[in-house]
Structure 1
Amino acid sequence: MTLGKRALILIFPVVLAGYLLAAVSVHVTQSRSIRALEHAKLSQRLEHAAAVFQNEIGRSKGFLNALLNSNSLRQYISETDRNYRANALGVRLQESVKSLSDDPMGYVSLAILTSDLQSEYYFENSWDPFAEIDEAQLNLSRRLIREEKLADWTYLSDAGQKARIVYSYFLDPVTFTRPLPSKKSGALLIQVAIQPDRFLDMQETLKQEYGADVVLQPWPLAVTDDLSASVHLGPSLYATLTVSSDHFDQLMAQQKLLLALGAVAMSLFSIWLIIVLIRRFITDPIATLDANVMAVMVGAHDEIRNMAEKGEIGRLTENIRELHRQSEQSLKLVQRSSWTDTLTGISNRGHFNAVAAGIVREAIVSGEKCSLLFIDIDNFKFVNDKHGHEIGDELLKTLATRIAMNVEAITERRGQKPAILARLSGDEFAVLVRSRPGDGTVREVSAAILALFEDGFEVSGKSYPVTASIGAAICPDDATNLAELISNADAAMYQAKTSGKNRSSRFSRALHDKRTRLRQIQDELRSLDPDEQFHLVYMPIVNTDGRVTGCEALLRWYSPVLGNVTPDEFVPIAESSGLFTKIDWWVINQAMSDCRQLKALFGPDTILAINISSAELHSKAIADYFSDCLNRHGLQPQSIEIELTETFAVKFSDQLRRNIDELRQKGFRLSIDDFGAGYTSVQQIIEYTADTIKLDRALVSNLTASQSLPVLRALIALCHAKDVAVVGEGVDTPEKLSMLTAAGCDLFQGYLISKPLPLEDLGIWALTRTARYGNEKDDRKNQQAIA
């Protein structure tokens, strides 16, 4: 039997069964999806009806409240002359009832009943001028008089009567307020009834669409397999709609037909296409190839040509076996070459991982140790870019050769097993040394590699300015598997790189703890709720008279996982990982929400200073967000001073300039924080306008410690020449305060005045300070009086 016939017999029933099964699966899946969709649609429609119903309830309550607050109802109840009340005041009250409805034809009624159900007044906006309160509403009134409730609403929908929402309220006719429960017998029962036209229309629409009535009942819908839904309208009132199964069956009938026809058509087409493709690309070529390959293999022909042979399956099996043996030999050659780095000729990452993983496992089992040196070439990209990739490749090849020679010489001299050298990627190399603990091998290998770069690295008679950073990790002291060993050595390498390059660094537990904490901080920042873990403290700013003119908002973070996390820890992580927008916006909103309390403590002219990150200044939305918060909390922009760190001027982009100009146009104050920390120049002071300059605490300490009063005066005078106020930060001693005052500083901030305090403690500080300064002021007055 040929392959074509075999394929037809085997594939046809499988394909047909597969399409039928797929059609059934699609039908079942779509049936569930359509049922779920219809159920969701039904629930949504009922929820909409419930919302309309609640709106009608609110409308009835609003009508009643409007009447209770109107003079017409008050005059009607207070009037003792029954004729005047019935004629003149009754007409006025009737007009008030009509005016409450937007629809002049809409049904609304007002009933005033005594505790013994005597009707003091009844009016309904209908075509019946002689309408009276019906029995259903009277029964409702009886029930309400018996109960303890003083206000309630009820939906009346008895057969043969208008469906309406009745809002009832007991009113003391003397005080015109809600009576005490004990005084209920002398109160009037005020009832406003409206007809929920929109709800009734929606009820009718649902009935026409689904062919079923919306049932109002005092209990929710029981869980069934039917297409149904129930929604809560009020106390002991639920709207329920159960759709007949015929409605859903009609939706699915057309789908069943289309799926059945599609399954049959696709089966026939797929079978035909598969047979054509198998014959074209498999059976015919296999038969021809089998004959030709066999002829060549047995030496009957020098080249492949067509030969008629029988039993192609058997012969193809033998040919495949031969090809497999040849493939195995080829695979070994490919594998051997795949373990070698094509550029340098040493092991590549794949071979290194395979060999090094075995060495690590052996070291752990035997109790021995091995050390991994992770080598990164500093400034290699510079050489590649400046001198070309050919020079860069030659540098890597020369480096690999020299490292191999040095490492091999050291291990042979020490009588140790050969080290494993590999190029992991780009300009990164790894050396795995199997040495005894404390024998100095790792130190000697690191020194030998670093010595290659002492005067630049020489290639073909020319020196190139590259160096090496080496990180070392020891197994099992620092790691118990290869992946962890490489990771820790890589971390140690970065430690060496940040320490000045062309040096080595050993992985330590402190480095591990630092990496772990940085990772934990980043993870916590991603998932935390600022309202739960962040809080603000405020640091007062005073003038030369000691009066508080402003407060700076400072962010504090207490994490249930990490404890207290300082801004020096989490701010750089948040900025580098793009998480600071969430923090900045929370600080802005929270600080503005506290601003009114600050003004209550220190006066209406108190200025709130808010720090924002330099990265956030480049956001297009920052100015709009400041304005939104300002409007939300009812503040003036002159009360808010936005503190920009002096680093903002280093990369002064067009977007940044537009943002700052927009903030100033909106009326916000701007200040440059940490002035003198190392970036701001005199030209930048002249170019970038600000309302305030805040002298960095380090600058203040240096100038006051060296008694550089002339320098300090000149600096402050330069700021004053630009009409900029100067704030001295870090004022923690009387000497600093005196020197800053003598130099002409306008404002002061520091621990001598107050440390950052929560809003509650700041209030206590303000009261204490007010009392102390009041006593000092009285003492000065007394001394002046004595003089």
Structure 2
Amino acid sequence: MTLGKRALALIFPVILSGYVLAASLIYYVQSSSILGLERARLWQQMGLLTAVFQNDVTQNRSFIYSLVEGGAVRLFINERDPAYRSTALGVRLQQSITSLSDDQRRFISVAIIRPPLTVDYYFEDSDDPFAQITPQQLDHARQVIASPRLSSWSYLDEPGLDPLIVHSEFIDPLTFNRPVASAKGGAILVQTAVRPRAFLDMKRGLEKEYGAAIEISRHQFLSQGALSATATLGPSLFARLTPDTVFLENRLRTLKTLLAVGAIALSLCTIGLVLLLVRRYITNPIARLDRQLTDVMTGSRSALPDMHEAGEIGRLSVNVKRLHDHSMKSFDLVQNASWTDTLTGISNREYFNIRSTQILEEAEAEDLGCTLLFIDVDNFKFVNDKHGHKIGDELLKTLAARISAIVTRITAANGLPEGLFARLSGDEFAIMLRCQPGCGTITQISNEILSLFAEGFEVLDKAYPVTASIGIAVYPEDAHTLAELIANADAAMYQAKSQGKNGSARYSRSLHEKRNRQRRIEEELRVLNPDEEFHLVYMPIVDGHGKVTGCEALLRWTSPLLGRVTPDEFIPIAETTGLFSKIDWWVIDRAMAEYGHIRKLFGAETILCINISSAELYTKSISDHFCDCADRHGVDARMIEIELTETFAVKLGEQSRRNIDILRARGFRISIDDFGAGYTSVQQIIEYPAETIKLDRELVESLTRSAALPTLRALVALCHAQDMSVIAEGVDTTEKMTLLAAAGCDFYQGYLISRPLTLEEIGVWAMQRMMEKARETISAGQRARA
């Protein structure tokens, strides 16, 4: 029997039985998995159904609050003339109701009821002009009036009628707030009802998919069978969906068929392929492979002649051994190379993680401590961008060599084990030492590293403006794992940066609390609803005559969990976690939606300034979003000024420059915000693609002194030479404004003019300014006549 036939006789039953067994196991496992997946999916669908229902309930509650806060309901209730109330005020109330709905197809009804059960007003957004309140809604109102509750909602689903979500709220006719319980008899009941169209559509879709009706009851359900799910729609409203048994059987039958067909097909294909491969790659070439491998390993021949020697397996074993020895030597060389940073020649992150883990295990076994120093080179990116990568690489190599020498010298002098020094990434380095704070070694190493940057770091006989920030974390006091140790040392390094750079900081409890707050802010940013927690305030910009020429939209966040969170806290977190787009897009849309009110207050030429993250310039969709929002809200693009931080222009990428060109081509204005806070050069001022420069408040503070007036004039003149208007931020005294005006500044912004105001407050502020100007005009006229 040939080797091929023997292979067929041996392989065929093994492969066939193996695939059959595998198919059986897969069916057994997958049947349970399918049941679990379908159960999880069913619960997920019921959860989504609950979310959709709760959204409709929330919208109905918001609708009634918005309606009560409007003036139309107040006028209607307080009007004593029934004829005038039912005609003119009824129409006005109807218009207010219609304006509050952003979906014209959505059914909404509003009723105003006086106890005991007198319907003063009823309106519904339907095709029936003579529609009246339904008995079910009246029953709900009767129940609320009879109960001690001041507000209530209910889901009305009666046969023959479309389901409704009804919300009833008592209001005091004098204060228009929720009355106290003792004054309920004299209060007015406002009732709104909406048809949960999204909920009903999703409910019908689920019923069609699972072949069973969704049960809704005011009593809590119990799950029925293996595939059943319940949901809590409200405090006393529950739903249950129990799919038909045929639903799961169909899926299992399909799985069984596919596995049977697959097992047979794979068996035949595998057997044919194995036989082909055995014949081609084993039986025929085995002798030739042995001779070729022997010649290659010994290097005795350059050609490979045919040979007919016996004992191929023996020689093949010897040659494999030789190949293995050579491979192991090569592997050692490759591994050493893979653990070394190619630029600096010190250890890299991979080796640092491996060796640090071993060090921590040894320290735990010996009950000793370890200290991690996390080093970051401040301003390295600026040097790298300005002077080129060659200088940047040389700086890193020189720095690595000097720090390595410091660590080796100090650890040897103090009789400590050799320290582990590695480059983690870019301009970040780490030192792991087998010692604890208190022995002086950590302080000595930190001070000597920082002294390298005392007068700029010298590379190739030239000093560069870089410093170092060092974060220190100790095991096991500050962390119990390597990941925690690195994270805590990194947090301490950022603390050192915030203290002025070129310094060191030890991880502390305050840092832990700060990191926890940052984590909580990040978690809240991921789940928040911007419409509920965000709002905008506006800070006016005036010219030299005091005329308002623009308003800057500023974001404010009030979190139900965290309270008020300042932009200085959450904006950096949003940018580092990639959540800035969610914030910027909401700010753009809301600011343009409210621009019409700003325009009415200050005139058609008022500029709206919108701040966006510089990181947005590296996305392709930001220009389209600006244009879409402007078109949707009817805003002239020329009246929108996009404010970007000054530091973004240190090095413009191709995509960011293209986005700026697109925005400017479509009419949007570009403003460079916080000018003077980064690394500004004359060349960068000349190349800035912007219409406006906003001087940073700290720059204004330092330049608004009489001695600095020539410098301020030169800076303003340079901006004017580039056809850029100049806005000064932080104008909080008349002396500053006088000096800025003397220097030729165009516009002013600061607390001397106004603090940031809400949309309602800025209307009051504008009215007060108008009244003040009117009084000044009258006084001037009186003085002229006198």
TM-score range, shorter chain: 0.5 to 0.7
CA apart distance, 1:549: 3.0
CA apart distance, 1:478: 1.4
**Contact 1:537–1:759 (CA under 8 A) maintained in structure 2:** yes
Q: Distance in 1 between matches of 2:406 and 2:573?
A: 39
Q: Distance in 1 between matches of 2:410 and 2:746?
A: 66
Matches within 5 A, 1:5-154: 15-20=15-20
Q: CA 1:263–1:387 in structure 2 vs 1: closer, same or farther (change >3 Å)?
A: same
Q: Distance in 2 between matches of 1:391 and 1:721?
A: 37
Q: Distance in 2 between matches of 1:649 and 1:180?
A: 64
Q: CA 1:430–1:709 in structure 2 vs 1: closer, same or farther (change >3 Å)?
A: closer
Q: Which moved more, 1:623-632 or 1:479-488?
A: 479-488
Q: CA 1:576–1:21 in structure 2 vs 1: closer, same or farther (change >3 Å)?
A: same
Q: Distance in 2 between matches of 1:662 and 1:221?
A: 43
TM-score, L = length of structure 1: 0.53
Name the counterpart of 1:75: none
CA apart distance, 1:580: 3.1
- Are 2:763 and 1:768 equivalent residues in the alignment? no
Matches within 5 A, 1:38-437: 178=130, 263-264=263-264, 266-267=266-267, 270=270, 349=352, 352-353=355-356, 355-362=358-365, 369-373=369-373, 403-404=407-408, 406-411=410-415, 418=417, 421=420
Q: CA 1:517–1:15 in structure 2 vs 1: closer, same or farther (change >3 Å)?
A: same
CA deviation map 1:570-621 (0-9, x unaligned): 4344445544333322222111100111123333433322223334345554
- Are 2:569 and 1:565 equivalent residues in the alignment? no
Q: CA 1:354–1:688 in structure 2 vs 1: closer, same or farther (change >3 Å)?
A: closer
**Contact 2:541–2:551 (CA under 8 A) maintained in structure 1:** yes
Q: CA 1:706–1:572 in structure 2 vs 1: closer, same or farther (change >3 Å)?
A: farther
Q: Distance in 2 between matches of 1:374 and 1:694?
A: 36
Name the counterpart of 2:535: 535
CA deviation map 1:715-769 (0-9, x unaligned): 5566667765543322211222344445554433211121001112222322333
Secondary structure of the 2:704 match is helix
CA deviation map 1:304-350 (0-9, x unaligned): x979xxxxxxxxxxx9xxx99xx9xx99xx99x99999879999647
Q: Which moved more, 1:636-645 or 1:390-399?
A: 390-399
Q: Which moved more, 1:10-19 or 1:535-544?
A: 10-19
**Contact 1:611–1:644 (CA under 8 A) maintained in structure 2:** yes
Amino acid at match of 2:355: F
Q: Distance in 2 between matches of 1:535 and 1:426?
A: 39
**Contact 1:410–1:445 (CA under 8 A) maintained in structure 2:** no
Name the counterpart of 1:69: none
Q: Distance in 2 between matches of 1:623 and 1:15?
A: 59
Unaligned runs of 5+ in 2: 39-121, 134-202, 215-243, 287-308, 312-316
Name the counterpart of 2:196: none
Amino acid at match of 1:640: I
Secondary structure of the 1:776 match is helix
Name the counterpart of 2:757: 757
Q: Distance in 2 between matches of 1:19 and 1:490?
A: 52
CA apart distance, 1:537: 0.7
CA apart distance, 1:535: 1.8
Q: Distance in 2 between matches of 1:753 and 1:404?
A: 60
Amino acid at match of 2:651: K
Q: CA 1:390–1:259 in structure 2 vs 1: closer, same or farther (change >3 Å)?
A: same
Name the counterpart of 2:748: 748
Name the counterpart of 1:100: none
CA deviation map 1:365-405 (0-9, x unaligned): x5x644345578999999x9869999999998998688456
Name the counterpart of 1:702: 702
CA apart distance, 1:538: 0.1
Secondary structure of the 2:478 match is coil
Name the counterpart of 1:81: none
Unaligned runs of 5+ in 1: 37-148, 154-166, 170-176, 182-218, 232-242, 287-304, 308-318
**Contact 1:373–1:472 (CA under 8 A) maintained in structure 2:** yes
Q: CA 1:735–1:421 in structure 2 vs 1: closer, same or farther (change >3 Å)?
A: closer
Name the counterpart of 1:780: 780
Amino acid at match of 2:736: K
Over the aligned positions, Cα root-mean-square deviation in angstroms equals 6.5
CA deviation map 1:681-740 (0-9, x unaligned): 667666667554434333433333336556555655666677655433222112223444
CA apart distance, 1:422: 6.7
**Contact 1:542–1:749 (CA under 8 A) maintained in structure 2:** yes
Amino acid at match of 2:583: I
Q: CA 1:618–1:223 in structure 2 vs 1: closer, same or farther (change >3 Å)?
A: closer
Secondary structure of the 2:784 match is helix
Which of these two proteins has the greater Rg computed from alpha carbons? 1
CA deviation map 1:523-578 (0-9, x unaligned): 54455443333221101123344343321111223344544333334434444554
Q: CA 1:388–1:561 in structure 2 vs 1: closer, same or farther (change >3 Å)?
A: closer
Matches within 5 A, 1:617-656: 617=617, 619-647=619-647, 649-651=649-651
Q: Distance in 1 between matches of 2:670 and 2:206?
A: 64
Amino acid at match of 2:414: I
- Are 2:581 and 1:581 equivalent residues in the alignment? yes
Q: CA 1:626–1:362 in structure 2 vs 1: closer, same or farther (change >3 Å)?
A: same
Name the counterpart of 1:478: 478
Q: Distance in 2 between matches of 1:738 and 1:463?
A: 43
CA deviation map 1:629-655 (0-9, x unaligned): 122112223432333444455435666
Name the counterpart of 2:734: 734
Q: Distance in 1 between matches of 2:495 and 2:557?
A: 27
Secondary structure of the 1:540 match is strand
Q: Distance in 1 between matches of 2:392 and 2:449?
A: 24
- Give the total of aligned pairs: 555
Name the counterpart of 1:596: 596
Q: Distance in 2 between matches of 1:664 and 1:222?
A: 49
Identity level (%): 51
Q: Distance in 1 between matches of 2:709 and 2:273?
A: 95
Q: Which moved more, 1:755-764 or 1:723-732?
A: 723-732
Secondary structure of the 1:752 match is coil
Q: Distance in 1 between matches of 2:758 and 2:704?
A: 30
Amino acid at match of 1:480: H
Q: Distance in 1 between matches of 2:515 and 2:473?
A: 15
TM-score, L = length of structure 2: 0.53
**Contact 1:642–1:670 (CA under 8 A) maintained in structure 2:** yes
